[in-house]
Homo-oligomer: A and B are copies of this chain.
Amino acid sequence: MDRSNTKQQILAAALDLFSTQGYEATALSQIADAVGIRKASLYSHFAGKQEILDCLLEQLRARYDSRSLFTRARWDDPAFAARQADITPDAVVGDILAQIRYILHDPQISKARKMLLIEQFRNERMARLQTEMNYENVLRYFEGLMEFLIRRGSLRIGDPEIMAAQLCLPITVWLGLCDREPDREEEVLALMDRHVRRFFQINGREA
């Protein structure tokens, strides 16, 4: 009955290896070794290597859709916006920095981020996922936040789309730098802090 358990172990090992070596460079024997079974046994759980990847992407997509802050938030829903009524720029700064620390260290998320990055030119599906998860959904969420804060008078009037980009995209690059050179995390977190504070300072009402 540990079929589903072994299946999950296989998917976890595959994500681990795909995220550093890439799909093509990863051998089924490596995945089998990581799980502790023979490579022929993988075929009891998956039809082949490609199906391991397909299943992995399906699972990542499902988890992302159901858990990510960026897909659940609906600023155009009055009920959602009402719940954010007490948000101040200072509170937003804290929330953003905490969220950054989370997505930086969560094993699933960071491995998925790396895998999508290195496979984006070889696999259209991963290219789409990469754009949606790490660009479009994040920007859409923060564009909503910018509109909200402008309407509340917490931020100066401006182009919400560009403001969201100016807030988020430097952070996107710094996340990538941390993935590439984890030793620089402390330095990068300090930069992010200065960046977010300056953003709200320079875009604030009394700037």
Binding site for B on A (CB under 8 A): 19-22, 24-25, 114, 117-122, 127, 130-131, 135, 158-159, 161-163, 165-166, 169-170, 172-174, 177, 179-181, 191, 194-195, 198-199, 202-203, 207
Q: Which of B19, B24, B162 contacts A21 (CB 8 A)?
A: B24
Tell me whether A121 and B121 are in contact (CB under 8 A). Answer: no
Tell me whether A173 and B135 are in contact (CB under 8 A). Answer: yes
Q: Which of B130, B158, B180 contacts A198 (CB 8 A)?
A: B158
Of A20, A25, A120, A159, the most chain B CB neighbours within 10 A belong to A120
Tell me whether A131 and B180 are in contact (CB under 8 A). Answer: yes
Q: Which residues of B contact A162 (CB under 8 A)?
A: 191, 194-195, 198
Query: How many copies of the chain does the oligomer comprise?
Result: 2
Q: Which residues of B contact A181 (CB under 8 A)?
A: 127, 131
Of A22, A24, A25, A127, the most chain B CB neighbours within 10 A belong to A22
How distant is the Cα of A207 from the Cα of B161 in the complex, in angstroms? 19
Tell me whether B158 and A165 are in contact (CB under 8 A). Answer: no
Least CB distance, A120 to chain B, in whole angstroms: 5
Nearest B-chain residue to A24, judged by Cβ: B25
Q: Which residues of B contact A202 (CB under 8 A)?
A: 158, 202-203
How distant is the Cα of A172 from the Cα of B159 in the complex, in angstroms? 20
Tell me whether A191 and B166 are in contact (CB under 8 A). Answer: no
Tell me whether B166 and A131 are in contact (CB under 8 A). Answer: no
Q: Which of B22, B119, B130, B170 contacts A122 (CB 8 A)?
A: B22
How distant is the Cα of A170 from the Cα of B203 in the complex, in angstroms? 17
